[in-house]
Structure formats: structure tokens, C-alpha cells
Amino acid sequence: MKNILCIVNPVSGLKKSLKVYYELENTIKEHSFNPELLITKYAGHARKVVSELQSDQFDRILIFGGDGTVNEVVNGLYQSDLCSFFPIGIIPTGSGNSVVHDINYLDYNIAIKKALSDDIRLMDVNKAIFDNEVRLSISVIGWGMFSFGNVLAEKLRFLGTIRYDVASVIKLLEKTLYKALISIDGEMSNISCAFMVGCNSVHTGKGMKIAPSGGFYDEMIDMVIVKDDVSRLQLVKVFKEVYTGKHTNLPYVHMSKVKSFSIDALKDSYFNVDGEIIKSKKVSVQILPKTIKLLV
């Protein structure tokens, strides 16, 4: 029997992760795996446990959760230089499932078969250096509406999952513009924009196809920028079309593929890393190709 660490975030998404784990537990055992269950109890718990693993302790890690839990596991592996030892499989039970949207395994029964197979692809990640910490990103690093919208959403937590939609509408109506000194592949400039996002995945959030020509295996960051020459109605159109990827055809949406970028807001600001908000004045980002073993 091979040992498998099953990390379950019980509050992820619709709080069904533990239920799904018990539904699939027999399937895991039938594939000759001995599951060890870890139910996370606080933010950062998965990262802490994974960073303390021994390299031969498990055959693989199986994640029951969303992007936040995947992010914790990936950062735990990177923190202790364990990325090459543990393949990860993902069962999508979160509110945001960017990775699983990309590999199209949203059905639990398909996802578990892939997670228990031996088919591995090496996945790129983005390394982000903030004022006080270093963080890997599996999906997006966003700034402007993409980050300040999440800050507002946290204040509306009493509304439940709809808080993100409400916060987005408020930010669209406000049409706040954000100014910074940026560098893209070493070329510096000043910018005033509605938002900019560095994407590692095609999808983000609840199925938004933010970077339709991107993905985990191209060794590039897809930059999406909407500058200050955009109206409220045009912003609404961006957020409407982003679910199909057609926003890339809009003249006020600027797309490019890069290896690195930085944002210096010149004052305390907020950045969205895979749905988590980090407070910092600046961030420097670069692609780390073929870093994570993803079971596909």
C-alpha cells in the first residue's frame, strides 16, 4: 500500500469537502493507497504541515478544496524544497477552482481517477516577492479592481458567496483608477489603470476565462491590463465577456505574454494572490517553469 496525504479544507466553498472525502475514501483504498486524513483547522495549516513533511513520507498529496488550499500546499512544498517529491491531485470542492477548470476535471469521479493515476505534468508557478514575504501563485496576481474588490468583499462577508458579485458591482460603479510605477520584462513606465493581472492559469474565480491563450505549461505570464481610457459601461462589458474569454477582443483590454513584471504602488496597497489579499507597497513577479508535479 502507498501512503497518500489527503488534505481537506472543511470550510472551503460550500463546506462539502469532508463529505466528498468520505464519499471517495473507499475509491482511494481500492487503488491500493492508504489515506491519511488532515482536516485543516486554520488559515495556513496546510502550508505548515506540508512544509514539515519528510521527502519519503507519502507517495502523493490529494487536496480537497479550492485555489486557496492548493496555494497553501504549493507554498509549503516550495518553502521546504519538496516540490520534486510530491505530486499533487485536486478534488474541486472550493468556491474558486482555477486549476481544475484548466484541466477540466470538475466532476469528482473524474478528478479522483486522475489524482490516483501516475500521469504527471510539470506545472509552472509565479513567484511573487512582496515587501515582507515571498509567495508562489498558481493562478493570478491581481492589482486594482482585482484586489480592492476582494478587500471590499471581505467587509461584506455576511452576504455569503454573493459578496464577490456585490463588491464587483460596487467597484464597477465607482470606477476607481489606480496609479503605479510598473516594469514589464525590464521596461519601466508609469500607469493609471482599472486593473492589471498576471495570470498563470487560463481561468480564475468562478470560471472566468481571464487568459484564454495561457495555461500552466507555456512558461509565460499572461498580462491583462485595462488602462484608464475605459468607461464604466466598457468595464461592465469586460466583466461580462471574461467568462467566455471574448474580453481579449476588446480594444481597451491589453494582453501580452511576459517573463516578469513588477508593480510599485508607491504607498501601502493590496494585491490579490489566488484569492488571498496581501498588503504591500510593491510586488516583483517572475515565472518559475515546470515547478509543481500535477496529477492529470
Same domain, 29 and 150: no
Same domain, 277 and 218: yes
CA distance linking residue 208 with residue 202, whole number of Å: 8
Find, among 193, 200, 283, the residue nearest to 238 by Cα. 193
Domain assignment present for 123: no
Domain count, the chain: 2
- Beta-sheet strands, E only, within 113-237: 120-129, 134-137, 140-144, 178-184, 187-199, 221-227
pLDDT of 164 higher than 80: no
Domain end position, chosen among 118, 140, 162: 118
CA distance linking residue 206 with residue 249, whole number of Å: 21
- Residue ranges making up the domain that contains 114: 2-118
CATH of residue 173: 2.60.200.40
Domain end position, chosen among 93, 118, 143: 118
Q: Specify whether the CB–CB gap between 74 and 50 falls below 8 A.
A: no
For the stretch 202-247, pLDDT in tens is: 999 778 899 999 999 999 999 999 999 999 889 889 988 999 999 9
pLDDT of residue 170: 74
Residue 93 neighbours by CB under 8 Å, 6+ apart = 9, 12, 13, 14, 16, 17, 20, 64, 65, 66
Domain end position, chosen among 75, 97, 118: 118
Q: Report CA 20 to chain centroid distance, whole Å.
A: 22
Same domain, 80 and 150: no
Domain assignment present for 124: no
pLDDT of 20 higher than 80: yes
Amino acid at residue number 33: F
Domain assignment present for 296: no
Alpha-carbon radius of gyration of the chain: 19
Q: pTM of the entire structure? A: 0.92
Q: Specify whether the CB–CB gap between 83 and 105 falls below 8 A.
A: no
Same domain, 154 and 249: yes
Same domain, 283 and 225: yes
CATH of residue 73: 3.40.50.10330
For the stretch 128-155, pLDDT in tens is: 999 999 999 999 999 998 898 777 777 7
Domain assignment present for 287: yes
Mean pLDDT is lowest, of 62-76, 142-156, 159-173, for: 159-173
